[in-house]
């Protein structure tokens, strides 16, 4: 399945890119949001597109990236978009074990230089595993799953996504979630967030927002997990209290029924947009 950009219209409306402006896409992916921004900023605009997988750059390092390669004029950006998490391409064709529906090497990192999940699983204690699955996956059977993975690792380490999915399926009750989601959904999400330090990266970016975006510049962040959305919400609120930000989205914008029907990935998406003051 090709990647359909989530909440595209709402994101572009919020960012309101103008001709000749300088924008940053911190999560380029298949370039859906970038393409729409390019059309608005035009041939004289500038777009810096990075992706941890494709360009090897982490958006958490944006202040350093801008310092090393200052865009023409050496200015901060007029706008920044982040569309967090994993892309449809990464799930479907990356061959790196992001999906429990495929039997691939259990790597699950956006950047191949990071430590793969199959290695991480050999190092974590049962309690650490439990905490990760519980916190990042909000998985009610975290204890059973952690025990099953830990015991399996002591015998024959898990090497593929298919093997991990089986270990998880065997550890939970047969009617898990009444069949609504695959039993491995939450654990896979948790391990991906942990392996890629997704919350730390987002927090570093939020801390440095004013080094990246100039006063008057806009930021749009699409998150897919309640912990991510909470981070964005709290940072925005604190900046606003300090008189450093105007928030455009009192409540996060979510996808319409029609969009969810066309693109199930948009179901859990939450968009927050703000302006740096």
Ligand X SMILES: C[S@@+](CC[C@H](N)C(=O)[O-])C[C@H]1O[C@@H](n2cnc3c(N)ncnc32)[C@H](O)[C@@H]1O
Q: Which residues bind ligand X (CB under 6 A)?
A: 3, 5, 26-27, 29-33, 50-53, 58-60, 83, 85, 87, 110, 201
Q: Strands 46-49, 270-276: parallel, antiparallel or unpaired by DSSP?
A: unpaired
SS3 annotation, 45-61:
CEEEECCCCCCCCCHHH
CA atoms within 13 A on the CB side of 72: 8
Q: How far is the CB of 192 from ligand X (least distance, A)?
A: 10
**In angstroms, rounded to a whole number, what is the distance separating the alpha carbons of residues 266 and 85?**
12
Query: For residues 220 and 80, is the Cβ–Cβ distance under 8 A?
Result: yes
Comparing CB distances to ligand X, the nearer of 52 and 130 is: 52
Distance of CA 276 to the CA centre of its chain: 22
- Which conformational region is residue 243 in: left (phi greater than 0), alpha (psi within -120 to 50 degrees), or beta? left
Q: How far is the CB of 147 from ligand X (least distance, A)?
A: 30
Comparing CB distances to ligand X, the nearer of 53 and 78 is: 53
Comparing CB distances to ligand X, the nearer of 14 and 26 is: 26
Comparing CB distances to ligand X, the nearer of 142 and 220 is: 220
Candidates 19, 120, 25; CA nearest to 82 is: 25
Token pair of 269 as six digits: 């998406």
Q: How far is the CB of 162 from ligand X (least distance, A)?
A: 22
Comparing CB distances to ligand X, the nearer of 132 and 205 is: 205
Q: How far is the CB of 80 from ligand X (least distance, A)?
A: 12
Q: How far is the CB of 51 from ligand X (least distance, A)?
A: 5
């Amino acid at each position: 399945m090709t990647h359909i950009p989530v909440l595209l219209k709402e994101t572009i409306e919020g960012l309101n890119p103008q001709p000749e402006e300088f924008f940053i896409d911190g999560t380029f992916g298949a370039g859906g949001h970038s393409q729409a921004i390019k059309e608005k900023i035009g041939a004289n605009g500038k777009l810096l597109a990075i992706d941890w997988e494709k360009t090897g750059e982490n958006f958490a390092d944006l202040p350093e990236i801008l310092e090393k390669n200052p865009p023409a004029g050496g200015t901060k950006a007029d706008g920044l978009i982040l569309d967090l998490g994993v892309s449809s391409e990464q799930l479907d064709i990356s061959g790196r074990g992001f999906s429990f529906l495929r039997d691939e090497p259990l790597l699950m990192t956006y950047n191949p230089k990071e430590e793969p999940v199959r290695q991480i699983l050999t190092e974590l204690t049962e309690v650490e595993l439990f905490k990760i699955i519980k916190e990042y996956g909000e998985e009610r059977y975290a204890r059973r799953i952690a025990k099953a993975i830990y015991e399996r690792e002591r015998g024959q380490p898990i090497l593929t996504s298919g093997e991990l999915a089986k270990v998880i399926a065997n550890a939970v009750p047969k009617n898990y979630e009444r069949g609504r989601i695959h039993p491995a959904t939450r654990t896979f999400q948790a391990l991906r967030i942990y392996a890629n330090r997704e919350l730390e990266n987002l927090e570093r970016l939020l801390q440095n927002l004013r080094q990246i975006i100039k006063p008057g510049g806009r930021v749009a962040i699409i998150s897919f997990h309640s912990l991510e959305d909470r981070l964005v919400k709290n940072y925005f609120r604190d900046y606003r209290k300090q008189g450093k930000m105007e928030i455009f989205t009192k409540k996060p914008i979510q996808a319409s029924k029609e969009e969810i029907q066309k693109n199930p990935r948009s179901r859990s998406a939450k968009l927050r947009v703000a302006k740096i003051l």
